[in-house]
Amino acid sequence: MIGNGSDELLALATRTFVEPASGKARESRSTIQYFTPSYSLYPVLAAIHGAATRTVRLAKDFALPDLTALRQSSDWDFQAALTFITTPNAPSGRAFSTRQLESLYRQHRGVVVLDEAYVDFAEENALELALNYPHVLVARTFSKAYSLCFQRVGYFVGHPELIAALDKLRDSYNVNGLGQIGALATLDHLPYYRANFRRIKATRARLTERLNAIGFEVLPSQTNFILARPPEFPAKKWIEELRRQKILVRWFSHPEVKDYIRITIGTDTEVDALVQAARSVLEHC
């Protein structure tokens, strides 16, 4: 099923599979759950819909929590109407292995959406599982790896019964024509895009190595950005210092990631400029 960006599909899944909460009691059929940190849209969708939320914090290195521990904790609801899992994750950049995801969502009774917005930069994808499990949907987008974010084209892959349910709520003309033409055109040029993915991954490895060498702690990434804990000063000060040198990187105030900065992988020249600027911050501040 094609959507007006994958955001539309995530919203449609919320409207299709989750009952708005009626009273104070937290019921599984009104529950949306996800790990934190992950995509900031999930709590927004839950709030708009009047759904209850459950969240479980990822491990310190942003890995999935241990399944046995999850089963024992009362924080994770294996019956929840809708579970969102971002893989590879944002903003950590970390991917979860397909086997690990499979053992997790095999235990779930509700719908599980694997949000693979960044999957083209990863080593693995979970598409095969959406084809094999009737309660799993994989969400993909042309916005990231295919640079079509303004055209708004995303898609869900999943069991025909889930897709048919979503289709009932879909707007008749939810995806614009130009977007459809643009998305189809990218598929005619896959070798070009695949070469781009390889280039971005190579630049990511280079940036990781160079930042590690000057004291940054860079988390292994499978996306087109890295999350790095900078040395010497708080992350927020790094943002300001880099901005002074006309380099824009992101900082998030959430407790789990406030000590990190997120850097999008640019060209090799941009990466060199960033490393140069970081060196000068270390020398002069």
Residues of this chain that interact with ligand PLP (CB under 6 A) are 5-7, 39, 86, 90, 115, 117, 141, 143, 149, 154
Task: Name the minimum Å distance from CB 203 to ligand PLP.
Answer: 20
Give the residue with the Cβ less far from ligand PLP, 31 or 143.
Answer: 143
Task: Name the minimum Å distance from CB 223 to ligand PLP.
Answer: 9
C-beta separation of 252 from 228 below 8 A: no
Task: Give Dmax (Cα) for the chain.
Answer: 61
Task: Name the minimum Å distance from CB 265 to ligand PLP.
Answer: 15
End-to-end CA distance of the chain: 52
Give the residue with the Cβ less far from ligand PLP, 157 or 278.
Answer: 157
Task: Name the minimum Å distance from CB 149 to ligand PLP.
Answer: 5
C-beta separation of 122 from 144 below 8 A: no
Q: Which residues of 215-250 are buried (b: 16+ CB within 10 A; e: fewer)?
A: ebebbebbbbbbbbebeeeebeebbebbeeeebebe
Token pair 């048919």 is found at: 164
Angle between helices 268-284 and 190-213 (to 10 degrees): 20
Give the residue with the Cβ less far from ligand PLP, 90 or 200.
Answer: 90
- List Cβ neighbours of 242 (8 Å cut-off, separation of 6 or more): 248, 249, 274, 277, 278, 281
Task: Name the minimum Å distance from CB 145 to ligand PLP.
Answer: 11
By beta carbon distance, the residue nearest ligand PLP is 5
C-beta separation of 241 from 285 below 8 A: yes
Give the residue with the Cβ less far from ligand PLP, 18 or 153.
Answer: 153
CB atoms within 10 A of CB 145: 21
Give the residue with the Cβ less far from ligand PLP, 77 or 115.
Answer: 115
Give the residue with the Cβ less far from ligand PLP, 17 or 39.
Answer: 39
Task: Name the minimum Å distance from CB 115 to ligand PLP.
Answer: 5
